[in-house]
Amino acid sequence: MNFGILGSGSWGTALAKVLTDNGQTIYWFNRNRKAIDHLMLRKHSAHYLTAAYFDVHQLKLTTDAAEVIAQSDCIVIAIPSAYVEATLEPLDKNAFEGKKIVSAVKGILPSQTLLLNDYLKNKFGVALQDYFTVLGPCHAEEVAAEKLSYLTFSGIDEMTTHHIAQYFKTDYLNTIENNDIFGVQYAAVLKNIYAVGAGMAHGLDYGDNFLSVLIANSADEMAGFLKMAGIKNVEVGHIHNRNHNYASSVYLGDLLVTCYSLFSRNRTFGNMIGKGYSVKSAQIEMSMVAEGYNASKSMHIINQTVKADMPIADMVYEVLWEGVDVKEAFGKIEPYLV
């Protein structure tokens, strides 16, 4: 199977490292010609995971996304959700015909409030059986440093899901498989929102005791949304049933690491908001995308239909999008936490 990667940020770079470590030659889209030239010359990215070095003979680098797709059997999309459409819109409507798509996008496309699979179906006719996700608690920095991590591959075609997952399995990366495409995507979106909230709490100088309560309530809120949205895989106590275990890595595990880790962009973004930064100032200073910002608005819109009880996610939305004072917002939510 020939792999192509769309996206050259931290996560795209980490996944490129995994595939090339396994001996794969990959087609890799980078919209910046200078970044490609630097990678070919220096053997590492100029901006992302600069300590990760590549055998450049394994890299087919191009600024043409259509070329990557045409040359690949399986395309990994690792573009921040806010920029997916700008990258894919110019493509021919049949560009993905006969291809397998692996989404590494931990967000909802904000302009249309759609999961990536829905966008690809509407725009390019990609069938759900040709769509897979790779998600879980895997900060790119730790993957690049070869610290043991776990990735969950989801797809309704279980045989192909297993086949794809094997290309990513290394001595520092374990792969898990399930068929919960929608559940893992919604969990990945929601954990970013809750991580922004956790960062806000840290910025407001709440302690670890409160933070643990906030995250525990966030986990319960996430599970409640998934149930209300029709997701079946919201159970605990079934550790060896990977399709029906909400307490496993791709659900609860990803929530925990995104809320606690210093590598978390969303936690960092929320921390700045808690310390008094405006949204715009925080975005400029970070210079990287915090998916939880747009996700908070998208999930607010989606939940108008689902109607799950989501006071923590609503609080994050109100602070980021309606200008509610962050300290006042936390003061109002404190009595509702259990």
Q: Is 271 exposed, middle or buried (0-12, 13-18, 19+ CB in 10 A)?
A: buried
Other beta carbons less than 10 A from residue 147's beta carbon: 12
Render 27-67 in DSSP notation, one character per residue: EEE-S-HHHHHHHHHHSS-SSSSTT----GGGEEEES-HHH
d(CA 13, CA 64): 17
d(CA 209, CA 207): 5
Along the 338 residues of the chain, how does pLDDT read in single tens digits? 999 999 999 999 999 999 999 999 999 999 889 999 999 999 999 888 999 999 999 999 999 999 999 999 999 999 999 999 999 999 999 999 999 999 999 889 999 999 999 999 999 999 999 999 999 998 899 999 999 999 999 999 999 999 999 999 999 999 999 999 999 999 999 999 999 999 999 999 999 999 999 999 999 999 999 999 988 777 777 666 666 678 889 999 999 999 999 889 999 999 999 999 999 999 898 877 789 999 999 999 999 999 999 999 999 999 999 999 999 999 999 999 99
Indicate the SS3 state at residue 169: coil
Sheet architecture: strand order including 149-154: 59-62, 26-29, 3-6, 74-77, 100-103, 131-135, 149-154, 173-178
Q: Is 142 exposed, middle or buried (0-12, 13-18, 19+ CB in 10 A)?
A: middle
Other beta carbons less than 10 A from residue 106's beta carbon: 25
Contact in structure between 14 and 36 (CB atoms under 8 Å): no
d(CA 36, CA 264): 26
The vertex-48 CA angle with 285 and 182, nearest 5°, equals: 90
